[in-house]
Amino acid sequence: MGEKNSYLPILAGLGTSFIFGFSFLFTKQALDSLDVFHLLALRFSFAAVLLTILKLLRIIKIDFKGKRLGLLILLGFCQPVAYFICETLGLELTTSSEAGMMIALIPVVVTILASIFLKEIPNRNQLLFVIISVAGVIFIVTMKGNTEVNGNLLGIFLLLGAVFSASFFNIISRKSSLQFKPVEITYIMMMMGAIIFNVISLFSHIRDNNINNYFAPLANLNILFAIFYLGIVSSVIAFFLVNFTLAKMEASRSAVFANLTTVISVIAGVLLRNEPFYWFHLLGGMMILLGVWGTNYYGQNNKAFEENQIDY
Confidence of residue 148 (pLDDT cuts 50, 70, 90): very low
| Pairwise CA distance, residues 43 & 231, whole Å | 4
Percent above pLDDT 90 for the chain: 37
**Closest by Cα among 234, 224, 189 to 19:** 234
The stretch 98-122 carries a mean pLDDT of 79
Instruction: Tally the C-alpha atoms within 13 A of residue 179's C-alpha that lie toward its C-beta.
Output: 13
Q: Sign of torsion, CA 253 233 22 213?
A: negative
| Pairwise CA distance, residues 139 & 101, whole Å | 9
Residues 6+ apart with CB under 8 A from 16: 238, 241, 242, 245, 257
**Does the structure show a pLDDT above 60 at 310?**
no
The stretch 233-241 carries a mean pLDDT of 93
pLDDT (0 to 100) of residue 311: 47
Give whichever of 41-45, 126-130, 209-213 has the largest mean pLDDT.
41-45
The stretch 72-93 carries a mean pLDDT of 88
**Does the structure show a pLDDT above 80 at 141?**
no
**Does the structure show a pLDDT above 70 at 4?**
no
| Pairwise CA distance, residues 121 & 235, whole Å | 30
**Closest by Cα among 177, 140, 190 to 308:** 177
Q: What is the pTM of this model?
A: 0.80
Name the residue type at position 197.
Answer: F
Query: Model confidence over 23-65: pLDDT tens digits?
Result: 878 887 888 888 889 999 999 999 999 999 999 999 999 999 8
Residues 6+ apart with CB under 8 A from 11: none
